[in-house]
Amino acid sequence: MDFGFSEEQDLLRAEVRKFLDARCPLERVRKLSETGPGYDAELWRELAELGWLGLTIPEAYGGAGLGWVDLVVLLQETGRSLFPSPLVSTTLAAAAVLENGSEEQRQRWLPSLADGTRIGTLAFLETSDSLAPGGIALLGKPDGDAFALTGEKKFVADAGSANLFVVAFRTGAGAGDLALAVLDAGSPGVSAAGHPTIDATKRLGTLKLENARVPRSALLGAASQARPAIERLYDLGAVAVTAELTGAAEQAHALTTQYAKDRIQFGAPIGKYQGVKHPLAEMYVELESTKSLLYYAAWAVAESPGELPRAASLAKAFGTDAFTRIGIDGVQLHGAVGYTAEYEIQLYLKRAKWARPVFGDSDFHYERVARLGGL
């Protein structure tokens, strides 16, 4: 029994932290946020060289061949520093190909996702904003040996910068008649636009499909059988987003704790007063608990897939509510300066707002936990 990180994982954490602190401190993050794509192509290449873009891609396809526990280490750090990049999106697109693609498809797409020449993302949601199978209404019309897609995918992360979309669509009226396919940004009938979000470091957008053709060779797995794959990708997404939000929440808590030590009122640091120290202690309990739930979910990805749905839902539900509270209380405990654009804490509050709906809010995940628990 060992529920902790290995020496290698501790080293990875230190290495990522050092790199991000040196190459992308918050002043740089703020500047990048104001640009259209929202990230730095040069840093993206460096991340590829360090092996972090293809961290969970096997070495045979140009990746580092590590697992989801290692990925969580990486994403906690990118979350902590609010590092802007399509890293999570690309990692999830790679997971879709790796877990569901044929050998030929893996050879075709994974190396370019690992070396950063392709940016991938999942395009699952539609206007209904529902993660249930019924939320996917986009119908693939049989067209010879292919499907033709016309419609819109909404709330697509990094839609503007991605050039590889993993699209979920419907092949029939049955709840489970779903398919998963890879679409190139450059193919006819495919267009996408990304927009800034409440968290200026993230991009979200719409994928428009006008009679876009999906040849059989682009289908990941068999048509009409993709429901389990889609649900697992939602779980992986929940784990990845929870990893980033946990890192961000930890930093928000650290900033606020430091402020409580530095700020003097009534002749003493405000962290001396229980009205300030108790909320900080409560946040700490929530933070440590989020970490525990997250690490278990990350472990379950490979080692206990049957437990993943419950574990991922518990982590995202508990974590997203914890971070929402940490963001709000963090700003409040800073007092008026917390409201200024100059201070860092507000950036984390915005990240919390961004992270809440992504891959399901706490209402969605707690309902799922209740169902899995027999209610």
Partner 1 sequence: MDFKLSEKEQAFRQEVRAFLDENLPAGVNKLDPRFLAEWNKKVRAKRWVGFSWPREVGGGGGGIMEQVVLKEEMAQRKAPPLGSCFMGLAWVGPAIIQYGTEAQKQRFIPDILDGAYQWCTGYSEPGTGSDLASLQCKGVREGDFYVVNGQKIWTSIAMWSKWIILLVRTDPSSTTKHEGITCLLVEMSTPGIEVRPIQNMSGGAMFAEVFFNDVRVPVENRLGAEGQGWQVTVSALQSERSSIAEVTAMYRKLEELVELAKRTQKNGAPAARDTRVRRQIAVFEAKIEAMRLNGLRSLTLQLRGEPLSSETSINKLLRAELEVDMGDFALELLGSASAYRAGTPETVDGGRWQTGALNWPEVVIGGGTPNIQKNIIAERILHLPKD
What residue ranges bind partner 1 (CB under 8 A)? 1-6, 69, 257, 260-261, 268-269, 271-274, 276-278, 280-282, 284-285, 288-293, 295-296, 299, 303, 314, 317-318, 363, 366-367, 369-370, 373-375
The CA distances from residue 122 to 61, 198, 277, in Å, are 20, 20, 41
| DSSP structure class, residue 145 | T
The CA distances from residue 357 to 143, 263, 306, 373, in Å, are 35, 34, 24, 23
Q: Considering the complex, what minimum distance in angstroms separates the CB of residue 171 from partner 1? A: 32
Please give the single-letter amino acid code of residue 101.
G
Pick the closer one to partner 1 by CB: 291 or 356.
291
Q: Considering the complex, what minimum distance in angstroms separates the CB of residue 97 from partner 1? A: 25
Please give the single-letter amino acid code of residue 96.
A
Cβ-contact 69, 298 below 8 angstroms? yes
Q: Considering the complex, what minimum distance in angstroms separates the CB of residue 153 from partner 1? A: 28
Q: Considering the complex, what minimum distance in angstroms separates the CB of residue 269 from partner 1? A: 5
Q: In sequence order, what are the beta bridge partners of 168?
A: 180
Element (H, E) at 53: none
Element (H, E) at 324: helix 308-334
Pick the closer one to partner 1 by CB: 47 or 317.
317
Pick the closer one to partner 1 by CB: 150 or 289.
289
Rounded to 5 degrees, what are φ and ψ at 321?
-70, -40
Pick the closer one to partner 1 by CB: 40 or 250.
250
Pick the closer one to partner 1 by CB: 141 or 278.
278
Q: In sequence order, what are the beta bridge partners of 35?
A: none
Q: Considering the complex, what minimum distance in angstroms separates the CB of residue 363 from partner 1? A: 7
Q: Considering the complex, what minimum distance in angstroms separates the CB of residue 130 from partner 1? A: 16
Pairwise CA distance, residues 342 & 182, whole Å: 42
Crossing angle of the two packed helices 87-100 and 103-114, in degrees rounded to 10: 160
DSSP 92-134: HHHHHHHHHS-HHHHHHHHHHHHTTSS-EEEE---TT---SGG
Q: Considering the complex, what minimum distance in angstroms separates the CB of residue 164 from partner 1? A: 31
Pick the closer one to partner 1 by CB: 144 or 374.
374
Pick the closer one to partner 1 by CB: 28 or 277.
277
